[in-house]
């Protein structure tokens, strides 16, 4: 079983920045891709950003130009740098690890952006 532990969420004013971290309990080399998703009450979980084992990245339209996903293989950690935050970015953010045989989720970290 793989554990994913997110941190870095919190309350920030609109226009501010946060950096989320996700630490995996095993080498992230073993995953095909890792990503960040977010969810608000009553809505399905949506993709924010993903990074592949080859470090290719992909972003949702709402994240492009404001968010950046990166990883540190030596630390088994994936990051999400979020800049120019907007109130509509308020959500629980989840880390995801997609392997060749299984998929894993973290417990989520709350991000709240005040106007």
pLDDT tens readout for residues 47-80:
999 999 999 999 999 999 999 999 999 999 999 9
Q: 24: pLDDT confidence band, cut at 50, 70 and 90? A: very high
CB atoms within 10 A of CB 71: 20
- What's the chain's average pLDDT? 96
Residue-wise pLDDT tens digits, 102-114: 999 999 999 999 9
Highest mean pLDDT among 22-31, 76-85, 100-109: 76-85
Partners of 36 in beta bridges: 49, 95
Q: Which residues contact 109 (CB under 8 A, 6 or more apart)?
A: 6, 7, 8, 9, 20, 92, 93
Q: What is the pLDDT of residue 112?
A: 98
């Amino acid at each position: 079983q793989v554990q994913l532990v997110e941190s870095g969420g919190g309350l920030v004013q609109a226009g501010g920045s946060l950096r989320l971290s996700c630490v995996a309990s095993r080498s992230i080399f073993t995953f095909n891709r890792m990503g960040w998703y977010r969810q608000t009450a009553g809505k399905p979980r949506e993709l924010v950003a993903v990074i592949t084992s080859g470090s290719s990245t992909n972003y949702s339209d709402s994240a492009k130009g404001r968010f950046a996903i990166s990883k540190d293989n030596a630390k088994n950690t994936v990051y999400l740098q979020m800049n120019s935050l907007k109130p509509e970015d308020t959500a629980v953010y989840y880390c995801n690890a997609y392997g060749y045989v299984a998929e894993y989720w973290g417990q989520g970290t709350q991000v709240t952006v005040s106007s």
